[in-house]
Amino acid sequence: MATDGATGRLTYSDYLKVPELLEQQHCLAEPPAHDELQFIVVHQVYELWFKLVRHEADEIHRLLRAGSDTDLRNALRLARRIEAIFKVLVGQIHVLESMRPADFLKFRAALNPASGFQSVQFREVECLFGLKDETLASYTSGDPRHGELQRRLAETSIAETLYAVLRAKGFDVTAPGDARTEAQRDATLAALKVVYDDPDDHPLVYELCESLVDIDEQLILWRRHHVMMVERQIGDKPGTGKGTTGDLDGIRYLQTTLMRRVFPDLWEVRTLLSD
Ligand code: HEM
């Protein structure tokens, strides 16, 4: 690792590769548009946070598979970290909202047909938690990380592993999916109701489930805030990813994503609780 030439000691800049980081923003608009740097920096920062979310989520998944109570408590601690990161991700959207729509239009054509829709790390995060979609994944086929995404599509997700944890704790649960029968679904919700009726009798399982619902909720809040910001910027115009989002594009496509849930059973169980 490079060090301070004068003292030979490691510097802040060397450790964090600050010069290299500051070289990674290449604005494309001609004539130059003031807001393009803001747009690039915000997106790059998202990608760095997605990298950290992947790192933490992989460790959560390992701990859930290991399965001792200590492992589960550590998984819970890291799940809270991901929730904290997502709160930052939701808040960051305000930076883009400081851009006037007319100023966005000064450089929007330069980035066409690139779109956040092609963020392979976002798809990896969705996949890791359990939102797997081969069609959406196929749109990132030109990306260097596409192979990683394909691997994750084939792998067990955190949502599926949560059901294995619950079964190991004695609950008769089956993960949602094509193979789950109606009877298995009813048994799963009945078992979750036991946990949610008396959280104090199952504190670790309850806290774990709720910390995953916290992450699910933050992901939904990000989608909602993103679609509102997009509407504020481009109204009902087609997105730059037009042609890859099926029959719908722009905010019409984004609105269809708002009902996606990583842990649908954990949301549904609340309706079943008795007064
Ligand atoms: C002015 C700023 C932004 C605008 C106008 C915008 C617009 C859009 C639009 C219209 C779509 C739908 C696909 C398409 O038609 O292209 C989309 C999807 C998406 N955008 Fe953005 N976006 C902005 C900022 C961001 C940022 C900062 C991120 C952070 C990484 C992001 C991540 C995504 C993701 C992940 C999707 C796919 C969502 C899904 O399929 O569930 N966008 N965006």
249 lines ligand 1 (CB under 6 A): yes
Could you tell me the domains of the chain? 35-156+203-255 (1.20.58.480)
DSSP 251-265: HHHHHHTTT--S-HH
Q: What is the pLDDT of residue 65?
A: 98
Percent of all residues in the chain with a pLDDT value above 90, rounded to a whole number: 91
DSSP type of residue 202? S
pLDDT in tens, 46-90: 999 999 999 999 999 999 999 999 999 999 999 999 999 999 999
Q: Is the pLDDT of residue 1 over 60?
A: no
Q: What is the pTM of this model?
A: 0.96
Residues 236, 103: Cα–Cα separation, whole Å: 17
Atom of ligand 1 nearest to the CA of 123: 35
Nearest to 188 by CA among 159, 158, 155, 218: 159
Q: What is the pLDDT of residue 154?
A: 96
> For residue 79, with 0-12 CB atoms within 10 Å meaning exposed, 13-18 middle and 19 or more buried, which class applies?
buried
Band of pLDDT at residue 248, cut at 50, 70 and 90:
confident
Q: Are 153 and 133 in contact (CB under 8 A)?
A: no
254 lines ligand 1 (CB under 6 A): yes
43 lines ligand 1 (CB under 6 A): yes
